[in-house]
Amino acid sequence: MPVIFKVNNKCGYFIATWEGIITDSELLSAYKNFVESDEWSPGLNELADLSKTNFEKLSSNGLQALGTYAEQVYLNNNSSIKTAAYCPNDLPFGIARIYEAWSHDSLENVKVFRERHIAETWLTNEKEN
């Protein structure tokens, strides 16, 4: 599967590692499967690791579909979360910045980072939103 999820309950977030070429349908399906699993729980923040992904098959419609799905999940669970996108490479960084802009008025507070440790620090700092 192109997106691998691992929950870090101790730190209060899950890691979504995007690997290889990811299509719109694979991306949405992966997140739906995770949210519907026993591993996910409302209020878990997210670290999206985009350091090993290829976006050549991902469209803006696919990214918007993910954002719409995430917003519905957070509304249904009355929760807001922080999503830190770790993107050391230019293309994933740019695409994640577009997603960040789309989610500006969302229950999902998205920030994009070039350095993983800074992304993790932001996720675990309750004072920063």
- Residue extents of the structural domains in the chain: 3-124
Measure the CA–CA gap between 24 and 59, rounded to whole angstroms.
7
Confidence of residue 81 (pLDDT cuts 50, 70, 90): very high
Mean pLDDT confidence for 51-74:
92
What's the CATH superfamily of 3-124?
STAS domain (3.30.750.24)
- Please indicate whether residue 55 or residue 113 has the higher confidence score (pLDDT): 113
Q: Pick the range with the lowest mean pLDDT from 85-89, 99-103, 105-109, 125-129.
A: 125-129
More confident residue, 114 or 58: 114
> Quick check: 108 and 70 in contact, CB under 8 A?
yes
Q: Is the pTM of this model over 0.85?
A: yes
